[in-house]
Structure 1
Amino acid sequence: MIGKILGNRYEIVEKIGGGGMALVYKAKCNLLNRYVAVKILRSEFTSDKDIIDKFRRESQAAASLSHPNIVNIYDVGEEEDIYYIVMEYVKGQTLKQLIQEKDKLSLQEIINFTKQIAMALQHAHYNHVIHRDIKPHNILIAEDNRAKVTDFGIALAATTSTITNMGSVIGSVHYFSPEQARGGYIDEKSDLYSLGIVMYEMATGKVPFEGESPISVALKHIQQEPVIPSEVYPEIAPGLEEIILKLIEKDQASRYQNTQSLIEDLETLKEDASANYMSDPINHEDSPTQIIPRIKEEDIQDVKKSPSKSPGKNKKKNNKVLIVSAVAAALIAALLFTFGLFYVSNLFKTEEVEVPNLVGKSIDVARVEANQLGLELKETSMASSEVPINEIIDQTTPSGRKVKPGFAIEVVVSTGPTPVKVPNLVYKEATDAPFILENEGLQAGTPSYVFDELPIGTIIEQDPKEGTSVPEGTTVTYTVSQGPRVVTFPMPKLVGLSLEVAKNRIQQYNLQEGSFVEEHSDEHPEGQVFFQNPAFESEVQENDVVDLIVSKGPKPIEEIEEPDPEDNNNDEPEDSVNTSTNNLSTQNVTINFKGHTGVVDIVIKSILSGKEVVNIKHDVAKDGSSALVTLTGSGAQEFELYVNGRKQDNIKVNFKN
């Protein structure tokens, strides 16, 4: 690959990295004379349509973002089964390399890098893009210590550090969230969990969960609480530890709900490293272990129960204590009987019910099912392009858990695809419409075509209209101009009409007047048209130009000088011209001039007199490669044919007198 030029522009210089799905090269942009990074899909995936589509979606997701802490996308292309993305070249190293080099980062470095990553994620989340694969390998640290997030939109990475779920990879196993591990609903808080794992590694030099296989690591994300960072590195700032632990909470609702809150706490930590960020301490032993449907039961290790403490020894009581205790017990029993016996008896008689699996069911069906079990639903909504509207995406209380009647099950209900606004297509080129719509998450419908004054290929209408809010994936149809309608009709006959009448006829048919030439004619009276171009009944359209030749009447008779009687040479010259009108006649001659195109000039000269007898223009495209002309003379005569100023042939005519 080294030395290869992609897109006639990007010359591969050296390999600088790679992952399970793609390789990254440093390249020289010969057009702008700068270095870029080129990510190339591995050759073993170029026949997999799904992977190619995901690779393209990565470029689309990143190209929609513009932020100083996100690597810019410059170009995307395909050449000889090579699929590539051209990105900003960041001179420096990855955050993973920096951690390996320093083992642990300082508090100020952690705050600085985390804040920059959080601002990049904030911009992405605002634009409805979830990274799904935040890890130190995807954070580039430039020489000026600027952090830049890369690899946006990746949904597949075929390496041992990833897990495949339902046919698609959902992230890097050491950094992804519990909901990614169990194939649950992923949102912005999933990126924040991964960022918390990255902070843990920056602060301690280790990741919180290790295992012999990706499955074992994934199970630890779901089941086990991490070792508290201060146990790995006792000198860690307490405030930093609290932020990390809040980010990597198992329950999404217990984490930071947005990046802005995290950025604010980082600012506070920068000013006071001992600041406390949580009103309630985190219980690291009370997070319940949940059965993950997409991980086999035999992969789950038994959770060891902590042994209970043995009861203490009985102490001897003196009589006074016994009496006081007995009186107190009697009073408590009386109070319980008076005020709470009925409530307590009902409480202990209540039977628990099992939480049903509601994921994938419509909210209406779920309400009925919950009501029949004496349970309630606490509903929140979320847009989804994969789950149909009003269908439950996820439930926070796992199915199978025993709860008391009246318990509220939290469910996330799909509102359907995220609404997007239809872009403006009117006056744009029809060939650009599919790309414009695809960038907005919409589909291009089959265009219709009509005649219009706008140029050919220009969009003149669209449905839905610009600015309309529609679900993602909606099909947008549009109408394309075919240009003005071209109306053709047979050329009217003008030969035999007077010049004035012929001009009126030209105007009536919306034709344009061309050249009007006057020539002598023995057959047509003065002022009458005896030649037209285009010819009668040939196909013409509006605004075509019409040329006419109008008769000047017969040629005047030239007087012949009487020979001088004294002239000894009384013989008539052999080449003398008999100009008597009684000896003249006309004859139509077809002239062929193949090999010529466009409008040609036709000139015919008499060899006998040396004069031009025909001078006309002929449109080959409209009237063909032959023309009919009328020649006048007597006896056998010969003429010269000139086309566009060059002699083409001699014409011999035998006039019948």
Structure 2
Amino acid sequence: MDNNTDNMIGRRLDGRYELLELIGTGGMADIYKAKDITEDRIVAVKILKNEFAGSEDFLRRFRNESKAIALLSHPNIVKIYDVGFNEQIQYIVMEYIDGISLAEYIKLQGVLKWKDAVYFTIQILRALQHAHDRGIVHRDIKSQNVMMLPDGTIKVMDFGIARFNRETDKTLSEKAIGSVHYISPEQARGEMTDEKSDIYSVGVMLYEMLTGQKPFDGETPVAIALQHMQTPPKPLREINSSIPEGLEEITLKAMQKEPSMRYQTAGEMINDIEEFKKDPSIVFEYKYFSTDGSTKYFDKVSDPNAPDQNANGDELPESEGEEDNDLYDEDEDDEDEVEERRSPLLPILFAVASVFVIMTAWLIFTIVSGNLGTESGGSDEMTMPNIVGMMLDDVKTKYPELNLDIDRQYSTEYKENEVMDQKTPAGRTIKKSTIVNIVISNGPQKVEIDDYSNLTVQDAQIKLEKKGLKPKIVYVNNDDVAKDIVIKTEPAAHSEVSQGTLVKVYVSNGKLVKAVNVPKFIGMTIEEAREEAEKKNLKLKEVAGSSNEYEKDQVIKQNIAENSVVNEETEIEVTVCDGKAVNIKAEVSLNLPTDATDTGTFKFEYFKDGVSFKEEERDMAVNSGKTLTFEVSGTEPATFTVKITNVNDTSLSGVLAEISVDFKNEDTEPEIVSYDEGLFKKLKYVAPDTSKDESSSNPEPTEVSGSVTVTLPTNAAQSGTFNFTYMDSDGNVIKTETKDMSLAAGKPVSFDVSGKDKRTYLIKITNVKDEALTGTLAEIEIDFSDGTVKQNIISYDQNLFNNLKFISNEASGEHSEETDE
């Protein structure tokens, strides 16, 4: 794999086809496995190599052919989904086949069972018949271009590409060795090829499947090509005697070196295979052997008493027919005879004697008939000649004694005034007065080409084929005519032409589209994005969205990533900020230190910008080394603080961590500003020495520390934000803090106290929006006298928050009016 193919992996073509891996490479193109983002499916993408991209003629032909091949739709042909052509890359998007090639399967199996070979061949022929019916010849049929699915389904690939290979490289070189084993003789000679070339190649593949070897091989492509043109293939049954004779005949007929002696259509070959499948013992009697050892092929003999005929339908001399049949029978004897055999000299002597007798009889007949003719003025009988293929004037000149009755028909195979058929068989003795019925060709029928402009390419193709014309689709770029609509024909509309004429149909490929790189719209104002899109000839689809990161009217998102290669006029969706804030959620994680297992139990308090929103207790004996996680949310940057307090001594308190979160977007990551992992050890509680002096009868009371805790009412969630003041009964303030009741309702509040005897403490609250809204929330008595902290709530006004809820003047006025009424 070169650097260029390395660079292609991960690239997205036209913002749609993401290249995943290189799965094949050939002389012309590289093939990638890809993901079709739009259809959510796996496809194969064939990309032309750079050395072909510089040829304008090649590109034009490739584009036109690709469009034509895309018209094929058959279960045994690999589907083509899309094509792409621009200044930077040319590619074809095809059906992805998860299987192996027929070549790989033959290599694994060696020799295929004849039932499997027939099953695969019929599928290949059906694919070719579908293509041939639409004027498309494959020209590169080989086992490497045939894919097989796990269920045995065949898929034929690479339609039409081979014709360009031939045009760009007309000499047989090492590059051609992949195909030269399957090439037809006429293709090897550089002559025009048609459907019968594909049939020859199918015959070669069938030969390979049945025998496990190719019919011809050599050290160079030229040597192999010469064998295709000159050397008869070794009979299949000599390699594998288990091959049925009828199947051998089918294979060798398909591989005839003269195209006219092969099957003329894929359908003909399918018919014979179907006959063979019904009766595998069938013998088609196609083969007769000539004296030079080569094989001649004729239609099967239906009447055993009928005279033998040559390829043109002429009767063979009896000796020639007998010679052929004797040789055929001798082959049959070769398979059955083991020990005793006839001397080969006897049938040869018999044949020579037969020829001598026949020639002597003919000579005597000629002399006698000549003498009789001289005496009587000539015979009134004659032997009917074979005049099919002769021109009418030549027939009249050469055979003036024929009493011709002429019928005329249109034909695309015979020239005007050429004899197409004779009702009296050649070789029959007739009276000269006998009327001889013959059919003369009028040549191809003349038809008028209609005006197909503004029709779809499919409609035009069907209409032309109905008229007996051969449409050739040529795609051209056109700014004025819609894609896949006919522009014109050549010959032009209303021209009169012969049936069978090739008609070029020029079809619009739409406006010439250039490829462009997608700019980065994110961060631009929508006006800037529109200007940039207009410069690149791209379309914008604008949708609204919210963001904390961007200002109003800035682009916050685009559906096709920057630097993607797309065609001009591609629509790109951009999300434009509407100026509204978005509540973004994030998760903060802190890894608690592993060495804090003996530090005790701590109360964890969580603050957002100084306002408490959560608290919990954690025993470090079980939480040490674990992850502390809590969720935060907001619409603008905020600072979060985690405070810890040793529950055994509330004076042992400190800030564990400080975290900053910007809440710009969903991908926002909390930033740990500070984290004091050693704080737990610093705040470790050490119990005081409680030993007492035994001699002391009146010990001095010890001051005890602890905390006062009150749970806030759950019904105060909608009451607003309050300042909390914690004080003793003497008015000494111990602690103040502010709490948003939407977050604090239902949660505990606490403050630290210490003493030696009973003391009273107060909790006062004030609404932050109106300091006149104030009152005492709770009164608590603490008894320190026995060395412990005993809490007794004297009073607790749980409705005080709602009583002190701030109401605006406007709302208050409305309330007053309702009260007066």
What's the TM-score once normalised by structure 1's chain length?
A: 0.48
